[in-house]
Amino acid sequence: MGEEKETRHLNILCLGAGGFIGSHLSARLLSAGHHVTGVDIHAEKLGEVASHPRFTYLPHDIRMAGDKLDALVAASDLVIDLIAHANPGLYVSRPLDVFRLNFNENLKIAECCVRHSKRLIQFSSCEVYGKTVASIIPESLVNPEDPGLAHFSEDTTPFILGSIGSHRWIYSCAKQLLERVLHAHGLAGELNYTIIRPFNFIGPRIDYLPREHEGVPRVFSHFMGALLHGGTMPLVNGGLQRRCYSYIDDAVDCMEKIVENRDGICDHQIFNIGSPDNEVSIRGLALLMQELYLEHFDGVAAALPPLSEIDAEKFYGPGYDDSDRRIPDISKASKLLHWKPRYSLRQTVTESMRYYVECERRA
């Protein structure tokens, strides 16, 4: 008889389970047979997950969880921490809240894991890498089109952030400091952690559309809102900045392998998760969404929202700065986890759009 590896079913504490990534990840963990306790102040994105027999939803505000958090960590086999303010609009309008939640509160979670010797999967961000070398060196000395300059690798690439007055970087800095603290606990032999740096995931339930709530959601939701409800597709500083977009299902495939952690391969490791082949400028994304809207969703050319250029300070307020370009080096995830993303840019954007179009038609 062939040797069959049995998957151990874990009691997983998923903090931020009600968010975009958390809701998709929780669904996958339940399918894999695990028990999930999901903590979040919001439950709307959980959908069918909320009524799954192996899912428990706790509507705790992590800032006030205190002893409850300690007891939940003690009772779990694995802690996954996704809680954060994750919209650039907030980094600019509420920098102190971003620091308090994304560093102080996340630190308390890590300390509970140290106290109870629990494995922690911490969600960080590709924003820790900041800007490219090409953006701070005179163009005459470098070729800004060289993808090598923006190819970010977990264990070798240094981080380049803007000045203190550009307070957008408080998010990146808080995430970076948390990573450094986890690493130091690891060095002291007190914590088994894995850090995930997501690179622009999109898919169903990312953010809200602008008309539905106050604030500035991430760019995909802005453009989707304009396609469905009218208005313009605003291109901040002309939309020349570039991003690599990953479909959430691809990303969750990788996360599942990190949870599995065969032979402890992810212990004390940092993983980029992203789709290096899916790079596009923000202007290119707007045009692609227009094209796909006509091709797949019965859009009418005459009714497409126009692109509009807007100055970053006007759009976000003072203190905004930007990453010009970021391409994930995923060779570590590919080598250690045998993972590669499957969705092309067109598929990623089409499937993400499909969800919002169908929601609109059902409404």
Q: Is 178 in the site for ligand NAD (CB under 6 A)?
A: no
16 binding ligand NAD? (CB under 6 A): yes
Collapse the DSSP code of 177 into the 3-class scheme (helix H, G, I; strand E, B; otherwise coil) and give the result: helix
Determine whether 355 is an active site residue.
Answer: no
CB 126 within 8 A of CB 330: no
At 235, list the tokens. Answer: 């291109």
> If binding is defined by CB under 6 A, does position 348 make contact with ligand NAD?
no
The answer to whether 247 contacts ligand UGA (rule: CB under 6 A) is no
Stretch 124-163: interaction string toward ligand NAD, x if CB under 6 A = -xx-------------------------------------
Q: Does 228 bind ligand UGA (CB under 6 A)?
A: no
Assess 319 for contact with ligand UGA (CB under 6 A). Answer: no
Assess 219 for contact with ligand UGA (CB under 6 A).
yes
Let me know: does 63 contact 41? Beta carbons within 8 Å.
no
Tokens encoding 174: 């808080």
Closest to 86 in 3D by CA, of 224, 202, 179? 202
The CA-atom distances, in angstroms, between 257 and each of 61, 263, 264, 278 are 29, 11, 11, 22
Considering only residues 186 to 205 of the shown chain, the ones binding ligand NAD according to CB under 6 A are 198, 200-201
Nearer to ligand UGA, 29 or 273 (CB): 273
Catalytic-role residue among 171, 193, 247, 356: 171
Which is nearer to ligand UGA, 49 or 86 (by Cβ)?
Answer: 86
Question: Of the candidates 270, 308, 254, 300, which has an alpha carbon nearest to the alpha carbon of residue 28?
Answer: 254
**CA neighbor of 239 nearest in space, from 306, 293, 307, 289:** 307
DSSP state of 82: -
Q: What does 219 bind: ligand NAD, ligand UGA, none (CB cut-off 5 to 8 Å by kind)?
A: ligand UGA
State in angstroms the smallest separation of the CB of 184 from ligand NAD: 20
Find which of ligand UGA, ligand NAD, none residue 88 binds, CB within 5 to 8 Å per kind. ligand UGA
**Binder of residue 212, out of ligand NAD, ligand UGA, none (CB less than 5 to 8 A by kind):** none
* Side-chain-facing half-sphere of 217: CA atoms under 13 Å: 20
Element (H, E) at 235: strand 233-236
Beta pairing, strands 119-123 & 78-81: parallel
- Nearest residue to 97 via CA among 78, 84, 113, 80: 84
Least distance between ligand UGA and beta carbon 245 (Å): 9
What x/- string results for residues 57 through 86 when contact with ligand NAD is judged by CB under 6 A? Answer: ----xxx------------------xxx-x
Contact 38, 224 (CB under 8 A): no
Q: With contact defined as beta carbons under 8 Å apart, do 30 and 49 qualify?
A: yes
Give the footprint of ligand UGA on this chain (CB under 6 A): 86, 88, 125-127, 198-200, 218-219, 222, 234-236, 239, 241, 243, 282, 322
Active site residues: 171
Give the footprint of ligand NAD on this chain (CB under 6 A): 16, 18-22, 39-42, 61-63, 82-84, 86, 101, 123, 125-126, 198, 200-201
